[in-house]
Structure 1
């Protein structure tokens, strides 16, 4: 009864407040010296009569629009690092535009301070959510993979694969573009990108037309830090850990009114122990004919050097040109020991195979980027031109021994060049309308030469060696128009993408060409119910192009009985996505929720088949996994994210995501080793899964910060098996030193050492299996890290004001 009375009272007060006459105060805040708009600048209004304080913050163009009751107000404008500006007292009886307000830098403050947010904040836009990465302790001393694993809606599995809302087909960008930071092996690169280099992560589940159509789940855009304050500043970061970990990173930034020089340097060494276990049961019409177990241990050593140097030169107050060079050198020494035990139907041991793969890796990535930006007369009109060229090289050499006898010498050399050209133009109409046009061309040329030789350097028979030439050219054009009427916003777009893919198998001369032209419409709508509640609705059409490693038909060699190979005949997957979101703030509680639906055609999934092969003179069932195009899949679910700060010393947040998916039945036809046609029937799948995440941050005595992060992923089934649930716990303790110039953190990742993928596969299907395979895989074991960060001419900012301006671009 008390709750009902309270709710009724609040509704009454709200209704009464809405009846009070209100006016709108608007204007623009810019930097005095450069005329650049200031985002997150704050206008504070204090009622002379009631002493009530209200206000708001500016959007990406420096604009503000605040609805307040009529009355006499004192006004001032604040922005960290700038002098507070007191405005004349004004009686506001009608909607008023204060015009353009200029702020000047506070020279004393800028000599000392570079703003670094302590607490992660969230910005809601029409087509994305922006997570400004704060000093969350479980990512301190960590990597980009750790950052992504802390972002709501995102999961990073035991192998480092990134998924968004349970879907692994997510496009990862760096500063809005493909990057050499991701390189040929994206998951490995993300583990080498330090968390401290990341300013924010954009989760784009309903991408507008300005974004690539690639990625059926959506886009994750990682935005790196660049100094924005005049003067010299930087930081250095040292991490030590067990298993062996040493990481040293540093960044420096020097900015004047004419140029901005920035650089990042880093070195890391780590051992990555991992393990896997498989238990195979062979059947014939339901009768067990034998067993096989495989126990695999991984010992990985990795050395990584990376550095970047960039210079932004301000041509005038409205335009600048930026050049950036990035280089990374990575070496690895991986030892995989695979012990295979063969048993008869009574579990009597019949044979033992000890297969050891010793692989060395040497790769380097180079990338040059050039950007030109012109904001014209700060009226919102903007032109950006980007050029980017990257060169990636990777060499892998592996020796394989069976029962202590050298059996194979393997090598793989992969080279890739990528060229990108992009131009974007923004043209505003009036105050609340905006047109955007753009073009993008992207060219990839990749060559991979994989060779297998016996101990004498001679080809095997049959020879699994192969080499490919892969070319992919993408041409894109887009247009979109956005507008805002009172509390309603919309952003409508259309993107055209032309794709040319050419795959040549050099060993056989076979060639696979894929050419397709597709339109990708996008619709994003938003409605502000009031100051604390808003609704969003989005639609987008997306695609998933098969990557070269899914097209390359070579087989992995670390196990003679469990292999993976690509499929040159893969087609892209197309997905229509719908997303309805609701955001509200109730006191100290912020709640983001959404309902989503996706329908995909030509779904790409890995399918397992059994082939009988000669392994060391014994006819053995070999487990072969290959990606294929299945039929259609529908997926729907809902997501709930909450942030609650009940006390100054406690911050709590939680994420819950439930999804259900249905995949049509499918018959996979393939060519057996003897040349005959065979097939595997995959029944219809109608199943669900969910995952949840909880974070708490508690301030202990002596200002020690204690953070706990708990993640649970529910079980899931597919046409050929199931995946078991997973539970992960991370802990961290943090303490600021030397007047907040330094921070020391103790971080324990995977406290209970339970982060492993477990599941069972039935081949050819669950209803009539000939092989049942139970498998466990743990990519890396529990990690304990001690991290120390020192900042010079930088201080932590307690909390930056959070904007509530909906939009997908500069203004919407």
Structure 2
């Protein structure tokens, strides 16, 4: 506890130790800073924090997964569970579009997406009615770069970082913009070796221990990954007239990985018939192929801002996996599947006057998912099909949505009031075989999602804001899939077809002091919380399966600052929260409630020594957190970096180091009705790296009127 307090105090006082030395800066010096037009690392708005990667040294390199796990308040577990400000259920978007991936598939996508093509990341805790209602704790929107400069723009980037293993990135981006056309193309290649060092300790409670045994079990696992990824993006925009623009964009990812795992399970003997040491080898070969295409249309009705935008989306995701397990017997699995998504949406923005603006839109989406698994056991000299583990699962989902929203601006009050309706239809079917019946399920439901944002302007540019939103987290297809996935001889994953969606109410009251800082009080109540449960099957076998808890309450203060000038060359951004989470557990648990106050703090320091030299020091601390049955222990990380502009500003060289104290280690304890478990997992996050970027810009900047229109378009979120 004292160590945790020391880390928090150190992070808090570090940026403020220069307050007493702030120099009086002349007006002329301030003007020079503005002329340089350096983008702020962090921007804050009501219900939203924006992190600009290009303005950061340590966060502009590596992959998107590394960037997200370095942001304050963001925790991503290895199974793909995402926490935002101490609450799980955050929804990941790419350029305003859902990824429709989850679990390890989502983690793999984030790890194979280079940070060099990413412009900014929006953490949105209070989305408006224009967004999908999915995402209990909010939305994480990953925005790729868009170049507004006319002419030819070419950027080439290469980076290499070394931890226990090495990782290399190479990317290039080309953009050609004329009066009528905008063409862009980007490609990146990454190669990374990684590892996962896992330790698990289980202790059965009194009365549940197997007869004649200690009820203790330990497992240690070491897995290595060899990953290769090819990412590409292509698009073209054509301005048909002064008011109408059409566009076509595609992006995709071709990736493969080889995983080699070695698990040792130890059960202390108390009788000669039980216990001992079991070794399990788990090797996997995986390949992934995802492709997205978007056809869009934007039409401006008048100079007052009336705009109609529409788009049609197609997404295809395919994967194949071979799994080889060798322990007491030998098992070989051949798994595969795919996702197909078709969606269409349209949004209308119509200003009635300078004070009132009307928004409306509609969306429909169809998702079809197919997963299959064929397991065979080696019996003697021949392979025999394992019908208990083999299956074919088909999942279909249709969501229809519509929304309206009214924005009103008065002398001192700004108002956004919206209402969204979403209708969901789900069908799932698992094919049977000679040894097990087929199973199917359906679920249809409709919900209304009101949103409200009120901002009251005070004197000197300060304001008060009140935001409210209702959100939903639907059970994903993997949570509903009754298919069994094998980790080792004692640990299995299985879905639950009886899951219900979780619904949450989110409320936040905040005070905003100009552009410097924001302090607020947030409240969240969630019904039917979906969590991972650990079901004891006897003989030390555990099935990990999702289930609904009755409720969760979350409340606490939040603080964020933006570009606080400590000296003429030193700016700091601070993000902090102290959140209370309370989970009500099922009646068969010895502990009925899991509750805890969780501190989170992140500090980013930017140093600009000269026009061509800059440095960065970033740190975060996430405190002990309640998460359903689990308690997640504190973790923290500090990154450093230095940057030099070269070749008359056309080039940039960066030296960076992430997790320099090797402190970002995942630890958690889990309570079940029959046992307690402790889990510790260490991955390759400590690295030292170098990056080199070269840019060629031939052309003129877009005029201010066109720039504003393009920026507005990039901010407009489709349904």
Q: TM tier, shorter chain? A: 0.7 to 0.9
Counterparts in 2 of 1:639-678, with a 5 A limit? 639-643=558-562, 644-667=564-587
Work out the CA distance in 2 between the residues paired with 1:128 and 1:525.
14
Match of 1:420 in 2: 343
Match of 2:680 in 1: 776
What do residues 157-212 of structure 1 show as CA deviations (whole Å, max 9, x unaligned)?
56664322112211121222224898982222112222222222232211111111
Q: Secondary structure at the match of 2:110?
A: helix
Match of 2:542 in 1: 623
Work out the CA distance in 1 between the residues paired with 2:148 and 2:599.
40
Match of 1:120 in 2: 41
5+ residue gaps, structure 1? 1-51, 57-78, 81-114, 613-619, 668-678, 765-769
The change in CA–CA distance for 1:278 and 1:412 in structure 2 (over 3 A counts) is: same
Counterparts in 2 of 1:74-153, with a 5 A limit? 117-124=38-45, 128-153=48-73
The change in CA–CA distance for 1:180 and 1:466 in structure 2 (over 3 A counts) is: closer
Match of 2:331 in 1: 408
5+ residue gaps, structure 2? 1-26
Q: Conserved in 1, the CA contact under 8 Å of 2:71 and 2:602?
A: no
Match of 2:501 in 1: 572
Match of 1:441 in 2: 364
Work out the CA distance in 1 between the residues paired with 2:478 and 2:275.
36
User: Does 2:127 align with 1:198?
Assistant: no
Work out the CA distance in 1 between the residues paired with 2:601 and 2:374.
44
Compare CA radii of gyration and give the structure with the larger one: 1
Q: CA deviation at 1:682?
A: 5.5
Q: CA deviation at 1:531?
A: 4.2
1:248 to 151, 156, 170: 170
The change in CA–CA distance for 1:298 and 1:579 in structure 2 (over 3 A counts) is: same
Q: Conserved in 1, the CA contact under 8 Å of 2:570 and 2:608?
A: yes
What do residues 508-553 of structure 1 show as CA deviations (whole Å, max 9, x unaligned)?
3211111001111111111121343122111111100011111112
Counterparts in 2 of 1:627-776, with a 5 A limit? 627-643=546-562, 644-667=564-587, 683-699=592-608, 704-717=613-626, 720-764=629-673, 770-776=674-680
The change in CA–CA distance for 1:719 and 1:367 in structure 2 (over 3 A counts) is: closer
What do residues 484-523 of structure 1 show as CA deviations (whole Å, max 9, x unaligned)?
0012110111111000011111123211111001111111
What do residues 76-109 of structure 1 show as CA deviations (whole Å, max 9, x unaligned)?
xxx99xxxxxxxxxxxxxxxxxxxxxxxxxxxxx
Q: Secondary structure at the match of 1:621?
A: coil
Match of 1:219 in 2: 139
Match of 1:25 in 2: none
Q: Conserved in 2, the CA contact under 8 Å of 1:289 and 1:345?
A: yes
More displaced, 715-724 or 629-638?
715-724
Q: Secondary structure at the match of 1:240?
A: strand
User: Does 2:464 align with 1:535?
Assistant: yes
Q: Conserved in 2, the CA contact under 8 Å of 1:290 and 1:346?
A: no
Q: CA deviation at 1:747?
A: 1.9
Work out the CA distance in 1 between the residues paired with 2:246 and 2:102.
24
Counterparts in 2 of 1:59-78, with a 5 A limit? none
2:94 to 174, 189, 194: 174
Work out the CA distance in 2 between the residues paired with 1:448 and 1:201.
31
User: Does 2:511 align with 1:599?
Assistant: no
Work out the CA distance in 1 between the residues paired with 2:370 and 2:576.
42
More displaced, 589-598 or 509-518?
589-598
Q: Conserved in 2, the CA contact under 8 Å of 1:121 and 1:134?
A: no
Q: CA deviation at 1:349?
A: 10
Q: Conserved in 2, the CA contact under 8 Å of 1:230 and 1:255?
A: yes
Q: Conserved in 2, the CA contact under 8 Å of 1:533 and 1:584?
A: yes
Match of 1:524 in 2: 453
Work out the CA distance in 2 between the residues paired with 1:681 and 1:282.
13
Q: CA deviation at 1:793?
A: 1.4
Work out the CA distance in 2 between the residues paired with 1:551 and 1:453.
24
Q: Conserved in 2, the CA contact under 8 Å of 1:158 and 1:755?
A: no
Q: CA deviation at 1:218?
A: 1.2
Q: Conserved in 1, the CA contact under 8 Å of 2:48 and 2:124?
A: yes
Match of 1:4 in 2: none
Counterparts in 2 of 1:381-396, with a 5 A limit? 381-396=306-321
Q: CA deviation at 1:230?
A: 0.8
Q: Secondary structure at the match of 1:458?
A: strand
User: Does 2:256 align with 1:331?
Assistant: yes
* TM-score, scaled to structure 2: 0.87
Work out the CA distance in 2 between the residues paired with 1:117 and 1:147.
20
Q: Secondary structure at the match of 1:431?
A: coil
User: Does 2:198 align with 1:259?
Assistant: no
More displaced, 595-604 or 651-660?
651-660
Q: CA deviation at 1:775?
A: 1.4
User: Does 2:354 align with 1:354?
Assistant: no
Match of 2:391 in 1: 466
Q: Conserved in 2, the CA contact under 8 Å of 1:145 and 1:160?
A: no
Q: Conserved in 2, the CA contact under 8 Å of 1:182 and 1:190?
A: no
Q: CA deviation at 1:771?
A: 2.7
The change in CA–CA distance for 1:514 and 1:610 in structure 2 (over 3 A counts) is: same
Q: Secondary structure at the match of 1:454?
A: strand
Match of 1:617 in 2: none
The change in CA–CA distance for 1:141 and 1:134 in structure 2 (over 3 A counts) is: closer
Q: CA deviation at 1:281?
A: 2.6
Q: How many residues align?
A: 667
More displaced, 519-528 or 174-183?
174-183
Match of 2:427 in 1: 502
Counterparts in 2 of 1:302-341, with a 5 A limit? 302-341=227-266
User: Does 2:694 align with 1:790?
Assistant: yes
Match of 1:584 in 2: 513
Work out the CA distance in 2 between the residues paired with 1:257 and 1:504.
52
The change in CA–CA distance for 1:691 and 1:713 in structure 2 (over 3 A counts) is: same
Q: CA deviation at 1:701?
A: 8.1
Q: CA deviation at 1:350?
A: 4.6
The change in CA–CA distance for 1:448 and 1:310 in structure 2 (over 3 A counts) is: same
Q: Conserved in 2, the CA contact under 8 Å of 1:541 and 1:575?
A: yes
Q: Secondary structure at the match of 1:186?
A: helix
Work out the CA distance in 2 between the residues paired with 1:650 and 1:347.
67
Q: CA deviation at 1:222?
A: 1.9
Match of 1:42 in 2: none
Q: CA deviation at 1:594?
A: 1.7
1:276 to 183, 193, 198: 198
Q: Conserved in 1, the CA contact under 8 Å of 2:80 and 2:104?
A: no
Work out the CA distance in 2 between the residues paired with 1:810 and 1:459.
52
Q: CA deviation at 1:384?
A: 0.3
Work out the CA distance in 2 between the residues paired with 1:427 and 1:605.
42
Q: Conserved in 1, the CA contact under 8 Å of 2:393 and 2:483?
A: no
Q: CA deviation at 1:367?
A: 1.4
The change in CA–CA distance for 1:742 and 1:162 in structure 2 (over 3 A counts) is: farther
More displaced, 713-722 or 211-220?
713-722
Q: Conserved in 1, the CA contact under 8 Å of 2:81 and 2:103?
A: no
The change in CA–CA distance for 1:216 and 1:353 in structure 2 (over 3 A counts) is: same
Work out the CA distance in 2 between the residues paired with 1:553 and 1:810.
39
Q: Conserved in 2, the CA contact under 8 Å of 1:180 and 1:366?
A: no
The change in CA–CA distance for 1:249 and 1:159 in structure 2 (over 3 A counts) is: farther
